[in-house]
Amino acid sequence: MNTSAYVFEADQKSFQRLVADKSFQVPVLVDFWASWCAPCQMLTPILHKLAEEYAGRFLLVTVNTDEERQLALEHGIRSLPTVRLFRNGSATEEFFGVQPETTIRALIDAYLDRPSDQPRLRAQALRDRGDTLAAIKLLEEALASDPDNDRIHLDLVPLLIEHDRFDQAERVLKDLPSSRQLDADVSRAFAQLNFARLAKGAPPPEILAQRVKDDPNNCEARYQLSAIKALRGDYEGAMEQLLEILRRDRGFRDDAGRKGLVALFELLGGEGPLVNRYRGLMASALY
């Protein structure tokens, strides 16, 4: 029987209270396991050790899938162990199988509240009121006091882009650890930065569209037009211009058509009907 103050066993009735509700207070790590699962037996001591070490800064909830088959079915559990991290009412991260303690620790740490998160909340309120310069100043101060808080970097970058401070935005992103550089949220931020840089100083979209009409092989006009469309949320229009660049001149700006499409796929989260369709069209153009 578990006697820890930081580890709980959930069933169908208690899952909402122990996991979703509690996750509004602290991160909740849910371990879906079974007694016959050898990797589960290897992972359990690691999770319990961390729960005791963190002493309530996150909670560990276990679900015995043999006893709670319906609960496992509802959560789509297909392999064991499956571990999911819940924050603010929903699952935000997951991993499968046995992972090193350092990996699990990093996952938990990313969702723990830090003193520098309070300035982040105040900066968000300032941004919502339209005072973006004050929000930038507050986030810059928070970043100086806690440069290891990745969340500050990703809050600050869109505001810097909004004020055309592109070089500073790039430095903020490049200051993130190398282990974060290829993560989806960082890739999306780089893509947004690159499109903003390209659109800055470009002619109006009407002029660019006319240039493309007059000369369909004008890849520079297509490239600038794609950036403007992307920043305005016309992702299909942007992809169409980039696809045409890929079809007409693979060498343009060092394969800018393909790279631009990949950046847009990342910006849109890498999935969805639009991404899937243009990924297929890109593959056809390449091969």
End-to-end CA distance of the chain: 59
Residue of 18, 30, 40, 186 marked active site: 40
pLDDT bin (cut points 50, 70, 90) of residue 131 is very high
| Residue 1 pLDDT exceeds 80 | no
- CATH code of the domain occupying 199-286: 1.25.40.10
CA dist 164 and 131 (Å) reads 16
Structure tokens at 101: 């303690």
The residue-averaged pLDDT of 172-182 equals 89
**Delimiting residues of CATH 3.40.30.10 domain(s) in the chain:** 7-109
Residue of 37, 91, 231, 274 marked active site: 37
The residue-averaged pLDDT of 160-183 equals 93
The class (CATH top level) of 117-175 is mainly alpha
pLDDT bin (cut points 50, 70, 90) of residue 233 is very high
Q: Give the per-residue pLDDT at 184.
A: 80
The residue-averaged pLDDT of 145-166 equals 95
**Delimiting residues of CATH 1.25.40.10 domain(s) in the chain:** 199-286
| Residue 201 pLDDT exceeds 90 | no
| Residue 39 pLDDT exceeds 60 | yes
The residue-averaged pLDDT of 160-180 equals 94
CA dist 257 and 242 (Å) reads 5
pLDDT bin (cut points 50, 70, 90) of residue 228 is very high
Annotation says 219 is catalytic: no
pLDDT bin (cut points 50, 70, 90) of residue 2 is low
Q: Give the per-residue pLDDT at 274.
A: 96
CA dist 50 and 87 (Å) reads 18
What is the three-class DSSP state of 51? helix
Those residues whose C-beta lies under 8 Å from the C-beta of residue 108, and which sit 6 or more positions away, are 27, 29, 50, 54, 58, 85
| Residue 165 pLDDT exceeds 90 | yes
Which uninterrupted H or E stretch holds 84? strand 82-87
The class (CATH top level) of 7-109 is alpha beta
pLDDT bin (cut points 50, 70, 90) of residue 81 is very high
Of the listed ranges 109-113, 169-173, 217-221, 240-244, the least confidently predicted one is 109-113
Q: Give the per-residue pLDDT at 114.
A: 85
| pTM, rounded to two decimals | 0.70
Residue 230 burial by CB count (10 A; 0-12/13-18/19+): exposed, middle or buried? buried
Residue 44: name the closest of 26, 62, 56, 57 by CA.
Answer: 62
What is the three-class DSSP state of 230? helix
Instruction: Give the chain's mean pLDDT.
Output: 94
Residue 36: name the closest of 65, 13, 61 by CA.
Answer: 65
The residue-averaged pLDDT of 255-268 equals 94
Of the listed ranges 24-38, 180-194, 220-234, 268-282, the least confidently predicted one is 180-194
CA distances from 57 to 3, 26, 77, 85, 228 (A): 17, 6, 26, 13, 44
